[in-house]
Amino acid sequence: MSVHSAGSREVSRTAPMFAALGDATRLGLVARLGSEGPLSITQLTAGSAVTRQAITKHLTVLATAGLVSDLRRGRERIWELEPEQIEAARAYLEHVSKRWDEALDRLKEFVEK
Amino acid sequence: MTLHNTTDRIEKEIVLRAPQSRVWGALANAEEFGAWFGMKLEGDFAPGGRVRGQITLPGHGRVTIEIAIERMDPESRMSYRWHPYAVQPGVDYSSEPTTLVEFQLDEVAGGTRLRVVESGFDRIPAARRAEALRMNDAGWAEQLQNIARHVGS
């Protein structure tokens, strides 16, 4: 029976993702890639007080967590979101939401009986 | 599910075929609240007061919950703060941000409409959210084993 090992695989998959998002700069990068689509380092650095090197470092952390990926276009690297991973980050809220659905079903039964 | 999928809040709405006074009782009376929510609470709900208790739902182990009541407008509104899915036994969550849970009751034809909003999730540490998911996975793994044991016997 491997249900427990499936559970711990899930932990090792999601924990780095949440750690990666627990930083304002990285969260900002994810937000920009989410609203503007794939962007180059130059675009991501423009208008930011953070250096190109620092942005690259943050993107590497996000890539390690599976949240973003890059592809080389000419001399630039273009960064984009990995939607599947972002979707997984929403799983938490869905989980809490489901708990409310269950609780309200019990409330319905409780007050209507 | 709303279209603009915010990560900060959850909104629910349900119509209950029961008078507003009955629904209010199920929310405002700590013992009744615990009965449907799945908690054993000690003490009464009062604005500004805190009530502690244990989760009684299966698969939760011994977990203490603390509810800090903010407002209670009889038969109309009630709100409280708590630590969402503070489910790991032995962990002190008291210094961490809480979420706000708001209930709103309205009379509708044939019963009562209840709106529930839980907000403030964006302030919950990412590590805590990850842990809650992990606990959920562990919970499901446990449930699956219970089922396997049940059907296998």
Judge: A104–B133 Cβ closer than 8 Å, yes or no: no
What pLDDT is recorded for position B28? 96
Mutate to test the interface with B, among A96, A102, A106 (most CBs of B within 10 A): A96
Q: What confidence tens digit (pLDDT) does each residue in A55-68 have?
A: 999 998 888 777 88
What pLDDT is recorded for position B136? 56
What pLDDT is recorded for position B29? 96
Give the CATH number of the domain where residue A41 resides: 1.10.10.10
Judge: A110–B32 Cβ closer than 8 Å, yes or no: yes
What pLDDT is recorded for position B147? 52
What pLDDT is recorded for position B4? 37
What pLDDT is recorded for position B78? 97
Asked whether residue B4 is domain-assigned, the answer is: no
What pLDDT is recorded for position A57? 92
Asked whether residue B3 is domain-assigned, the answer is: no
Mutate to test the interface with A, among B67, B101, B137 (most CBs of A within 10 A): B137
pLDDT-derived band at A5 (thresholds 50, 70, 90) equals very low
What pLDDT is recorded for position A7? 45
What's the per-residue H, E or C state across B63-98?
A: CEEEEEEEEEECCCEEEEEECCCCCCCCCCCCCCCC
Judge: A96–B126 Cβ closer than 8 Å, yes or no: no
Total number of domains in chain B: 1
From the number of C-beta atoms within 10 Å of its C-beta (0-12, 13-18, 19+), residue A43 rates as middle
Reading the block at residue A27, the tokens are 């969260």
The domain in which residue A40 lies consists of 3-82
Answer for the pair B10, A93: CB distance below 8 angstroms, yes or no: yes
- Name the residue of chain A whose CA is nearest to B13's CA: A104
Asked whether residue B37 is domain-assigned, the answer is: yes
Question: Who wins on pLDDT, B69 or A38?
Answer: B69
pLDDT score of A77 more than 90? no
Mean pLDDT by 10 residues, chain B (153 residues): 56 93 96 93 96 84 86 97 74 82 96 92 70 59 54 49
Question: Who wins on pLDDT, A84 or A109?
Answer: A109
Answer for the pair A67, A20: CB distance below 8 angstroms, yes or no: yes
Between CA B80 and CA B120 the distance in angstroms is: 12
Select the residue of B26, B130, B138 nearest A14 (Cβ to Cβ): B130
Asked whether residue B58 is domain-assigned, the answer is: yes
pTM over 0.80: no
Asked whether residue B1 is domain-assigned, the answer is: no
Select the residue of A15, A92, A111 nearest B132 (Cβ to Cβ): A92
ipTM of the complex model = 0.80
CB pairs under 8 A between A and B: 102
Interface of B with A in 7-66 (CB under 8 A): 7, 10, 12, 14, 16-18, 22-23, 26, 32, 35-38
Sheet strands side by side (includes B77-82): B9-16, B111-119, B99-108, B77-82, B64-73, B50-55, B39-42
Question: Who wins on pLDDT, A103 or A14?
Answer: A103
Asked whether residue B110 is domain-assigned, the answer is: yes
Select the residue of A3, A19, A101 nearest B127 (Cβ to Cβ): A19
**Is residue B3 less than 8 Å (CB to CB) from chain A?**
no
The domain in which residue B142 lies consists of 9-152
What pLDDT is recorded for position A23? 82
What pLDDT is recorded for position B102? 96
Asked whether residue B147 is domain-assigned, the answer is: yes
The crossing angle, in degrees rounded to 10, of helices B30-37 and A83-112 is 120
Give the CATH number of the domain where residue B61 resides: 3.30.530.20
Total number of domains in chain A: 1
How much of chain A, in percent, has pLDDT values that exceed 70?
79
